[in-house]
Amino acid sequence: AQSVTQLGSHVSVSEGALVLLRCNYSSSVPPYLFWYVQYPNQGLQLLLKYTSAATLVKGINGFEAEFKKSETSFHLTKPSAHMSDAAEYFCAVTNNNDMRFGAGTRLTVKP
Partner 1 sequence: DAGVTQSPTHLIKTRGQQVTLRCSPKSGHDTVSWYQQALGQGPQFIFQYYEEEERQRGNFPDRFSGHQFPNYSSELNVNALLLGDSALYLCASSLELAGTGNEQFFGPGTRLTVL
Where do contacts with partner 1 occur on this chain (CB under 8 A)?
32, 34, 36, 41-46, 49-51, 90, 94, 96-104
CB 51, min distance to partner 1, A: 4
DSSP alpha helix (H) spans, the chain: none
Beta carbon nearer to partner 1, 30 or 79: 30
d(CA 59, CA 56): 10
Beta carbon nearer to partner 1, 9 or 14: 9
CB 6, min distance to partner 1, A: 8
d(CA 70, CA 54): 15
| Residue 3 parent element (H or E) | strand 3-7
Beta carbon nearer to partner 1, 3 or 80: 3
Beta carbon nearer to partner 1, 70 or 96: 96
Q: In what order do the strands lie in the sheet with 3-7?
A: 3-7, 19-26, 73-78, 64-68, 56-58
CB 24, min distance to partner 1, A: 14
DSSP for residue 41: T
CB 52, min distance to partner 1, A: 8
